[in-house]
Chain A
Amino acid sequence: MSFRSIDVDALDDEPLVQEELFCYSDGTEIDPQEALNNVQTKGIEVRNLLTKNNSEDALITAISDPPYGLNTTDAKVELNAKIVMDVLNSIKATDILSLIKRLSIEQQDVLMKYIYCGMARVKKPKEKEPPEPFNSAVLLNWHEKLTEIAGVGCIVRVITDRKTV
């Protein structure tokens, strides 16, 4: 099976690269610093909404305008995922279903992206310390409810989309 390790794209004159695929799925690259600033402002907004017990708007704000891009890792992983996670943790299990029903299909898709992103939070090879894992029980509960409403189509869209969170 040694042929499996051959990089067939290297033999191509003009290989299709990640940046291009991101672009082809309608993604627009933004400056990593700007993305980080945006997410920080969003974080404050979400916290304010949470203190006012407005969890619905907090969720919608947290998943709005995600820092898509190939170089926005800091804004993505370190910040926005945490913000969304805080909101998900703060919502009572009994309210989940009614809240998901009020989201648009687009919002449901983004929420699903964050659920998968949260579950994928494990130690990367180059990192020294593993990040603190999110509460999987909460994530699985949200995943179950969201799949009930949005179906497998939502999951397929999340897996397919190059605009990752």
Chain B
Amino acid sequence: MSQTEIRQFNFGPITAHAFNKDRTQVAICPNNNEVQIHQRTAGGWSLIHTLVEASHDKLVTSIDWAVETNQIVTCSQDRNAYVWNLDQTSGKWKPTLVLLRFNRAATFVRWSPNETKFAVASGSKCIAICYFDEENDWWNSKHLKKPIRSTVLSLDWHSNSILLAAGCADFKARVFSAYIKGVDQKPAPTPWGDKLPFNTVCGEFSNGGGGWIHSVAFSPSGDALAITGHDSQITIIYPGQEFYTVKTNNLPFLSLLWVNDNQLIAAGYDCVPVLFERQNDQSWKFSKVLDVSKKKNINESSTAFNRFRDLDARGISSRSGSDETELNSIHQNTITSLRPYNGTPGDISHFSSSGLDGRLVIWNFQSLESQFKGLKV
């Protein structure tokens, strides 16, 4: 696959998406209390499961797929999280309730890279670190509380599955230790610290401009943290060393994805993914917009037709047909989530994005890069 793949899954927003291991199935939430699993077929995608029975009764806010152990975790505004396992005999996904003990909505969920734990962020000023309790045969949770003062909006695990970064609505990003005795091995020292009992705050960062921290992301090596907030800037922090802030002319970003240790993709309210780069250990810079779609040519002959069709089908009356009502970008609304699609951490070749326009887009980063290289020559 060399080109950008676009799929309209929903006419409303997609609140979250997650792929399985071989990327043949994707779990999405179509802006309600369901989780749909679509299977890739020859002609596109087909809906094979709808996870709705005995589970969430409010909007599903986040989905994550543990690809090695093939478990899905979902969390929702109904304050609950469920771990889903595929029952081999019936071929259906079966939910297990997780005891989160939240009094507000759950906002974000991510499996740790080793898939033994997951973290759930919430509006109740805490993060639940959930792990499987073999004795009682259920998912138990421990809360990271201090010093969070507001809703936690995003999470990212360090590659060692111990450190957890959190972006909060109190304008701070924090790095915590989520070490669970009896579940985790003693971690090797990192630049973030070497003694890491549960709830150690290894760092607390502000982007200086205020505004909710919408996204946090550890670099592939884990030695740097990128954060972005509602002030249209990204900050890359190297603990104990320098940090870089890039203020942009764009609208704020909502999601971050590291391609490798020197390239970072961000996307948000501008509806296009953009690339930030660092060359030869110098400071970080805005590099380019990754969406290369061009203004579509308006076919003069069909303008009148389009105009009446739009009036009829969508109630839109525009002077020159449907083209005028579309953005020049692939995504037609805010991008809320970026996920790696192909490649290993530190060498991502494809990534996927979803957002408020209900589209799921798979981008070929490598071919986009080579296109730009061609342009430079």
B170 / chain A contacts, CB cutoff of 8 Å: 16, 20-21, 24
Binds B, one of A39-47, A92-100, A118-126, A153-161: A153-161
For B206, the closest partner residue in chain A by CB is A26
B172 proximity list for chain A (CB < 8 A): 24
Q: Which residues of A contact B (CB under 8 A)?
A: 14, 16, 20-21, 24-26, 105, 109, 150-154, 156-157, 160-163
Q: Does B8 contact A (CB under 8 A)?
A: no
Q: Is B371 an interface residue (CB 8 A)?
A: no
Asked if B248 is an interface residue, CB under 8 A from chain A, the answer is: yes
> Which chain A residues border B208 with CB–CB below 8 Å?
25-26
The 3 nearest A-B residue pairs measured at CB: A151-B249, A25-B210, A153-B232
Q: Is B231 touching A156 in the complex (CB atoms < 8 A)?
A: yes
Q: Once the chains are docked, how many angstroms separate the CA of A21 from the CA of B149?
A: 10
Are B210 and A154 interface neighbours, CB within 8 A?
Answer: no
Chain B residues touching A, range: 20 to 34
Please give me the residue from chain A that is nearest to B124 by CB atom.
A12
How many angstroms from the CA of A73 to the CA of B251 in the assembled complex?
Answer: 30
Does B171 interact with chain A (Cβ within 8 Å)?
Answer: yes
CB neighbours of A160 from chain B (8 A): 209-211, 229-231
B210 touches A105 (CB 8 A): no
Binding site for A on B (CB under 8 A): 149-150, 170-172, 206, 208-211, 229-233, 247-252
**Docked-complex contact B149 and A16, CB < 8 angstroms:** yes
A157 with B233, Cβ < 8 A, contacts A26-B206, A152-B249 known:
yes
For this complex, 24 residue pairs linking A to B, each with C-beta atoms less than 8 Å apart, are: A24-B149, A24-B170, A24-B172, A24-B206, A25-B208, A25-B210, A25-B211, A26-B206, A26-B210, A109-B247, A153-B232, A153-B251, A156-B230, A156-B232, A156-B251, A157-B211, A157-B232, A157-B247, A160-B209, A160-B211, A160-B229, A161-B209, A161-B210, A161-B211
B252 contacts which of A16, A109, A156, A161 (Cβ < 8 Å)?
A156
Distance of A33 Cα from B211 Cα, bound (Å): 29
Asked if B210 and A150 sit within 8 Å, CB to CB, the answer is no
Chain A residues with Cβ under 8 A from B206's Cβ? Answer: 24-26
A50: shortest Cβ distance to chain B, in Å? 29
* Besides the known contacts A21-B210, A157-B209, 18 further A-B residue pairs in the complex with CB atoms under 8 A apart: A24-B149, A24-B170, A24-B172, A25-B208, A26-B208, A109-B209, A150-B249, A151-B250, A152-B249, A154-B232, A156-B251, A157-B231, A157-B232, A160-B210, A160-B231, A161-B209, A161-B211, A162-B210
Which residue on chain A has the smallest CB distance to residue B208? Answer: A26
